[in-house]
Structure 1
Amino acid sequence: MRLEHTAALVTGGASGLGAATVRALTAQGAAVYAVDLTESIETSPEAEGVTYLEADVTDPDQVRAAVTTAVGGGAPLRTVVNCAGIAPSMRIIGKKGAHDLALYAKVVQVNLIGSFNVLALAAEAIADTEADADGQRGVIVNTASVAAYDGQIGQAAYASSKGGIVGLTLPAARDLAQYGIRVCTIAPGIVETPMLATISEEFRTSLAEGVPFPRRLARPEEYAQLVLSVIAHDYLNGETIRMDGALRMAPR
């Protein structure tokens, strides 16, 4: 599928994986709508070809408004990339007792339900566009994590939410096939994002040494490159792709 003269919607688009994806899509000629929370957008630099939209991915009204804005820009909405997410950690039984149920619910709400909310509302809009010569209307790329398969100690909530995204991928692809919409998921390993900014260089090095090859942390630009590959490869559908340098996470 071609990106020139089309619109793309990227959640979590003001930083990390989302910001790298925004840059990659604009470089390919797409008009990009970057969805994020207000505080993230305020610290994000202005970029040509990018429209920042304030929205909470868990709020149907806010997401619908963002989709409507993207659709109203004049170019057909063809691409959606779900990068918004949170990753707090807590053990099921810790020093303060059992896992906070509200925290567990919030992680699932943002990571899984938020992704589904965007997927469903954006797919509804994409389905109303005119298909290309091959019957295609669009591509939706969700973001899981290797934690969906190799969840570590303290990642019960996070791994549950990302495992849900993996489980969503195939039925979503099957549901949306009749509209010419493909659905794939990327499951990154350890990526150099703002989430890692608070850890020490020593710990960062130890994380990198656990990756078989290449023995380093992944870069957000590599995630964005894989998004472009999924969009370009018309036969990729219903698949979750690990991007982790053959990493398999240890228990801790």
Structure 2
Amino acid sequence: MRIEGKTFLVTGGASGLGAATVEALVGKGAVVVVADRNSDAGAALRQRYGSAIEFIQADVTSEDSIVKALDLAVGLSGTFSGVVSCAGVAPAERIFGRNGIHGLQSFRAAVDVNLVGTFNVLRVAADRLIKRDRTGGEEENGVIINTASVAAYDGQIGQVAYAASKGGVVALTLPAARELARHSIRVVTIAPGIMETPMLLAMPDEVRASLAATVPFPSRLGKPQEFASLVCHVIENPYLNGEVIRLDGAIRMAAK
């Protein structure tokens, strides 16, 4: 699929991996609807990219919120062609820690945002893609790209909620791709390793250096631009479907 002239929705697009994805898509000539809870960051993006983006304050766990975001994307000029789900949370809590047992509500919150939120975007996006008018004899109707994590495979101590939520995203990828294949819609998930997100950049230099040293090659943190580059490749390569792609420098996380 060509990116130029197409419209995409990016959730969590106001910062981190999402913001890098927005920049890459705009750079290739797309129009991007950015859905994020942070309205200040969204306004800054709007000022930076002008008419190439539209911002809408949205919560991925809300059906009404995502319906509005996708209706905005469908209504813009160009052809609505897919979504990239980058919204997520990364809680850290032990099953039994200093403050007692793992909170049930905190576990539910992680699953609600990372898994239910991802599915919420996927299902509404699929509906809009199925109903859209395909033009120019295109081979595909659209693409849905989810974000998981290497924690889905190598979850560390204190990541039980995060790993479970991202594991669910991994597990839904293939059945979703199989079901939507008859509508010519692809579903692909990216599972990043340790990336230079705002949360990690806020850590002390020695902590970041220690994390980077655990990556076999290249021995550094992943760059958001590398995630965005992979998003663009997934969009442009029509034979990538039903796959979870690790983007992690060959890291396999230790227990802690």
User: What TM-score, normalized to structure 2?
Assistant: 0.96
Verify: 1:193 aligned to 2:193, yes or no: no
Bigger mean CA deviation after superposition, 207-216 or 133-142? 133-142
Match of 1:8 in 2: 8
Partner of 1:86: 89
SS in 2 for 1:116: helix
Q: Which residue of 2 is the match for residue 66 of structure 1?
A: 69
Contact kept in structure 2, 1:131 and 1:180, CA below 8 Å: no
Task: Classify the secondary structure of the residue corresponding to 1:127.
Answer: helix
The within-5 A match list for 1:226-241 is 226-241=230-245
TM-score (norm 1): 0.97
Aligned residue identity for 1:12:
G
Whole-angstrom CA distance in 2 between matches of 1:82 and 1:44: 20
Which residue is equivalent to 1:36?
36
Distance 2:67 2:53 in 1: 19
* 1:210 alignment partner in structure 2: 214
Is 2:25 the counterpart of 1:25? Answer: yes
Q: Please state how far the C-alpha of 1:39 moved relative to its aligned partner.
A: 4.5
2:151 aligned with 1:143, yes or no?
Answer: no
The secondary structure found in structure 2 opposite 1:241 is strand
Q: Describe how 1:111-150 pairs up with structure 2 within 5 A.
A: 111-131=114-134, 133-150=137-154
- Alignment of structure 1 residues 43-62 onto 2, 5 Å: 44-45=44-45, 46=47, 47-48=49-50, 49-62=52-65
1:30–1:9 CA distance, 2 compared to 1 (3 A)? same
Change (3 A) 1:42 1:128: closer
Letter aligned with residue 106 of structure 2 = L
Asked if the contact 2:39/2:57 (under 8 Å) is kept, the reply is no
Secondary structure, counterpart of 2:220 in structure 1 = coil
Higher helix share: 2
Taking only aligned residues, the RMSD between alpha carbons, in angstroms, comes to: 1.2
Within 1, Cα distance between the matches of 2:243 and 2:134? 22
Give the deviation of 1:198 after TM superposition.
2.5
Q: Write the distance in 2 (CA, Å) between the matches of 1:65 and 1:79.
A: 15
Q: Return the offset for 1:42.
A: 5.2
Count of matched residue positions in the alignment of Structure 1 and Structure 2 = 252
How far does the alpha carbon of each residue in 1:170-196 deviate from its partner, in whole angstroms, 9 at most, with x for none? 011011111110000000000001121
- Note closer, same or farther for the CA distance 1:237–1:40 as it changes in structure 2 (3 Å cut): farther
The letter of the residue matching 1:197 is L
CA displacement 1:180-219 (0-9 Å, x = unmatched): 1000000000000112133110010010000000010000
- Letter of the 2:102 counterpart: H
Give 1:221's aligned residue. 225
Contact 1:33 1:70 in 2 (8 A): yes
Q: Deviations over 1:118-145 (max 9, x none)?
A: 0110110011123352431101100000
CA distance in structure 1 between the aligned counterparts of 2:44 and 2:150, rounded to whole angstroms: 27
Map 1:168-187; keep pairs closer than 5 Å.
168-187=172-191
Structure-2 separation of matches of 1:43 and 1:217: 28
- Sequence identity percentage: 54
Distance 2:166 2:218 in 1: 24
| Corresponding residue number in structure 1 for 2:247 | 243
- Structure 1 unmatched ranges of 5 or more: none
Q: Structure 2 counterpart of 1:206, which letter?
A: S
User: Are 1:75 and 2:78 matched, yes or no?
Assistant: yes
Contact 1:91 1:155 in 2 (8 A): yes
